[in-house]
């Protein structure tokens, strides 16, 4: 996926100058190492087209900034003779705090450069938390996650994955129906309470961002993403390598696409919305699982022999088919990723197309692939980390001011 278009200009760097070129190349090297996990200097030279000594200088600068570290490859019988190329790794000590409030719990994690969720905690709330509760619980959770690591970890900021509409310009949560929130300044509250730079976006869009960089959507320029969770259904769209955000950040709300003409009233005020008709809670209840056991749902549904479960799955699958049909016909993606509880409704391989995409225009599904999300429950937190890291990845030298 390409860089989002909303990144800031590098402050104090005039365009077309040697300094701008240096900063751009630093960003290219760090971006590659971040996305790939690790690369040798030789691979970085090949991938960037820069010469070897320039790559060496840039890696050295990133190492001095403590954004990467290097190791020597293991010497084995298969290694060619000659000087081995050092392996460059993203620093594990540069972290983002990722927060995902849901209707039943708040998830807080630490995500390192390289997109690794190194620690996470789930705090049960026994109902939708208020924005004040999210701030207070997060503050306590962060203190616990960082305990004993002071001085070891460098926290770049906090990323909030919100199950609702988030205004792109300032992170204001315009609405989160399942939490009962309207116009909550959660981003500002969190920044004030913790002292960390805080950014926020719609959780589903962040999940897609994670899948696009590290998961099933790696290297795919045209993809559609559906995810279902405790707080409803969301999604995201990447077209031509660019994330579709809309005028203010509210794009790709697949949970509120119209799928049932005699449908139920949705909290958004309309009727027949996908997420008003198809819920994780109903599927969990049908197979006798508690909300905290959502990660067992796919297997429980697959192994169920209960006719009532089969009927509910068939009902939900028919509506998923309508939602996927609309998305495929609108966006002509090469890949549709289905994650969260919606995975329980989808088959595999050819069967997946037959199950959820066979009502799309034939030409649009000719080369279409339907794939499950691969990052599992971690994708929203990894996506929130990715949001925090976006400024750093755009201008690594700016970390000097963090």
Binding site for Zn ion (CB under 5 A): 256, 266, 268, 270, 273
Q: Which of 273/313 has CB closer to Zn ion?
A: 273
Instruction: Kindly state the smallest distance separating residue 180's Cβ from Zn ion, in Å.
Output: 15
C-beta of 143 vs 270, nearer to Zn ion: 270
Q: Cα separation of 124 and 67, whole Å? A: 34
Query: Please, what is the minimum distance in Å from the beta carbon of residue 367 to Zn ion?
Result: 32
Which C-beta is closer to Zn ion: that of 270 or that of 402? 270
Q: How far is the CB of 133 from Zn ion (least distance, A)?
A: 25
102 vs 386, which CB is nearer to Zn ion? 102
Considering the complex, what minimum distance in angstroms separates the CB of residue 320 from Zn ion?
A: 16
**Cβ proximity to Zn ion, 42 vs 268, nearer residue:** 268
For residue 96, the minimal CB distance to Zn ion (Å) is: 31
Residue showing tokens 């996506």:
383
Closest separation in Å from C-beta 259 to Zn ion: 10
Q: What are the Cα distances from residue 350, in Å, to 116, 353, 366?
A: 32, 5, 12
Is the separation of the CB atoms in 152 and 204 below 8 Å?
Answer: no
Question: Which CB atom, from 115 or from 203, has the smaller least distance to Zn ion?
Answer: 203
């Amino acid at each position: 996926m390409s860089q989002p278009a909303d990144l800031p200009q590098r402050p104090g760097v005039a365009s077309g100058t040697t300094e701008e070129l240096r900063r751009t190349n630093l960003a290219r090297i760090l971006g590659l190492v971040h996305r790939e996990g690790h690369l040798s200097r030789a691979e970085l030279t090949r991938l960037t087209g820069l010469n070897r000594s320039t790559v060496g200088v840039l890696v050295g600068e990133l190492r001095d900034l403590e954004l990467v570290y290097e190791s020597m490859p293991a010497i084995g019988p298969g290694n060619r003779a000659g000087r081995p190329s050092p392996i460059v790794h993203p620093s594990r000590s540069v972290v983002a705090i990722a927060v995902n409030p849901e209707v039943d719990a708040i998830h807080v994690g630490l995500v390192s450069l390289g997109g690794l969720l190194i620690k996470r905690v789930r705090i049960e709330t026994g109902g939708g938390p208020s924005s004040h509760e999210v701030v207070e619980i997060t503050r306590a959770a962060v203190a616990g996650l960082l305990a004993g690591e002071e001085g070891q970890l460098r926290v770049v900021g906090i990323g909030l994955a919100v199950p609702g509409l988030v205004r792109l310009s300032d992170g204001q949560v315009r609405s989160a129906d399942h939490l009962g929130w309207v116009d909550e300044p959660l981003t500002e509250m969190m920044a004030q309470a913790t002292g960390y730079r805080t950014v926020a976006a719609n959780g589903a869009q962040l999940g897609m961002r994670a899948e696009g960089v590290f998961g099933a959507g790696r290297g795919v320029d045209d993809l559609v993403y559906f995810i279902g969770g405790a707080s409803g259904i969301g999604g995201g769209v990447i077209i031509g390598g660019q994330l579709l955000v809309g005028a203010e950040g509210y794009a790709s709300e697949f949970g509120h696409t119209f799928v049932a003409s005699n449908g139920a009233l949705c909290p958004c005020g309309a009727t027949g919305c996908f997420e008003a008709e198809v819920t994780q809670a109903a599927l969990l209840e049908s197979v006798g699982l508690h909300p905290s056991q959502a990660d067992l749902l796919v297997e429980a549904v697959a192994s169920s022999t209960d006719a009532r479960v089969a009927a509910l799955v068939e009902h939900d699958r028919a509506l998923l088919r309508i939602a996927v049909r609309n998305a495929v016909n609108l966006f002509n993606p090469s890949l549709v990723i289905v994650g969260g509880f919606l995975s329980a409704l989808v088959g595999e391989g050819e069967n997946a197309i037959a199950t959820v995409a066979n009502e799309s225009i034939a030409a649009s599904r000719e080369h279409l692939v339907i794939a499950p999300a691969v990052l599992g429950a971690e994708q929203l937190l990894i996506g929130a980390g990715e949001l925090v890291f976006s400024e750093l990845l755009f201008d690594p030298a700016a970390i000097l001011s963090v």
